[in-house]
Structure 1
Amino acid sequence: MREIKKKQTALVLVGAFNPAVYQPWWFEMNKLVGSGTANAAEIKIVHDQVTQFSMGWAEIQVTQNRFTIGTSDESREEALIDLARSTCLLTHDAISAFGINTATHFTVEDDAMLDKIGHSLVPKDYAWKGILKEPKTHTVVVQEAHSDATPGLLSIRIEGSVLYRPGIFVGLNDHFETADKATGKPIASSKAMKLLDEQWPSTMTKSREIVAKLMDTLK
């Protein structure tokens, strides 16, 4: 039976950040989360170079050049972008790039079907016939440059799931370069968030469509 077992969504912002600032109490102080959520946060590390903690549905990691917020709760995907937007607009951190990432695991009927799907993605008869006896597909990476005016690259990675067997992992990374083309300097957070708002719906739709198409392969 084919069934989505796990989906994670994350937003990665690239810029210059002060990790020690981003702590649960800061989010509470700025009314981004309630006191109950902040007090129940599970802190893994707080340091000048990295801060990492889970807070309710959100997993947050901040280094000196990356701010990452993720969730495994599909119903919180819009809340994720809202929290990221509010955080950036409060701190005024300049953003040089951002990435929208999804990671999905789904099961398939058996190992034989897993191999068939691999063969459908990378046919073996032409390139490997007479060279390898039993070639199998391990990992497929497909990339596409953005067709609009925004520099960036969409990457899709497909491979066997290490969490659910027999299963397939689909990782999507939609990367957007936001630095000023003339100077190379990062843009204001307000401009970056405007671009994120514009791109988020289409990227999330594309992620769902890719997974749905793969789940429907050779049914």
Structure 2
Amino acid sequence: MNNLKPIFQEASVVLVGSFNPAIFHPEWLLRNGLISEDDLADQDVEIIHQDIARFSLSWLNIQVQHDKFVARTNDPSQFMPLKDLIVSVFTILEHIPIEKMGLNYNVTYDIGNAEDWHSVGNCLAPKSIWEETLPKPVGMKSLAVESPREDEYNGYINVTIGPVRAKGYGINIGVNNHIEKAEGKESLNPPDILMGNWDAAILFAKKIAENTITKALDR
């Protein structure tokens, strides 16, 4: 399927550690030179509290709890600025202990028609074994695959795939590039990891998604 194009893309960085949600605010980002005045024009501060912070700018969404920090953008032109922002934030907050992190990519493809849409599920999750015991029709709801990392980090690559019927015949694929701190280490270093791995992680995730859909459609 040569004309396969994403209809939705999102990149996110997830950190698991120990955070103070109350400090995370668009004004704090501005004071530290991490965003511009123009970014504040589109801010939507949902809540800033000692237990949770949740706000968005035109290109960015941030949510922070005591044990988790999540920053995401669904604008592909901002994937690199997202990385730069997180590098800058956790260079300033260098003493925050980080135990786990995820470099994530999520994409939805419009398959175009019901026949091809069903063929993806038939390829990735053959129905015959299920049809022996379940009423027909049987369809793939979600599928998850995990693979070990091949670099120096502890962790894994987790891929999820499932149908999307909100608009047309869509297939969504999420790639979670998961990293955990090594035994005996006090913390991960998000700036170093992102600077050395973000570009490759996004390219690798796109390759996984494109190859999976293309091969499934060609079967």
Question: TM (normalized to structure 1)?
Answer: 0.89
- How far off its partner does 1:45 sit? 0.6
Give the Cα–Cα distance (whole angstroms) in 1 for the partners of residues 130 and 44 of structure 2: 50
1:71 Cα deviation (Å)?
A: 0.4
> Matched residues in 2 for 1:91 and 1:118: separation?
44
Partner of 2:217: 218
Between stretches 106-115 and 66-75, larger displacement belongs to 106-115
From the superposition, tell whether residues 90 and 124 of structure 1 become closer, same or farther in structure 2 (CA, over 3 Å). same
The one-letter code matched in structure 1 to 2:37 is: S
Offset at 1:162? Answer: 4.2
Q: Is the 8 Å Cα contact of residues 2 and 109 (structure 1) preserved in structure 2?
A: no
Q: Is the 8 A contact 1:105 1:164 kept in 2?
A: no
Aligned-residue CA RMSD (Å): 1.9
Identity in percent: 24
For 2:202, which of 201, 204, 216 is the aligned residue? Answer: 204
Give the SS at the match of 1:164.
coil
Written as runs of structure 1 = structure 2, the 5 A alignment for 1:35-46 is: 35-46=37-48
TM-superposed CA distance for 1:186, in Å, is: 2.3
Give the paired residue count: 213
2:23 counterpart (16, 21, 28):
21
Measure the CA separation in 1 of the matches of 2:138 and 2:63. 39
Q: 1:90 to 1:137 in 2, by over 3 A?
A: same
Q: Is the 8 A contact 1:151 1:176 kept in 2?
A: yes
In structure 2, list runs of 5 or more residues that go unmatched.
none
Matching residue within 68, 87, 90 for 1:88: 90
Structure 1: segments with no counterpart, 5+ residues: none
TM-score (norm 2): 0.89
> Could you tell me which amino acid in structure 1 is paired with residue 174 of structure 2?
G
Superposed, 1:6-17 pairs within 5 Å as 6-17=8-19
Q: Deviations over 1:88-121 (max 9, x none)?
A: 0112222111101122111112222211111111
1:122 aligned residue (125, 128, 138): 125
Which residue, 148, 152, 155 being the options, matches 1:145? 148
2:141 maps to a residue whose letter is H
Equivalent residue runs for 1:126-137 within 5 Å: 127-128=129-130, 130-132=132-134, 133-137=136-140
Give the conservation status (yes or no) of the 8 Å contact 2:99–2:180: yes
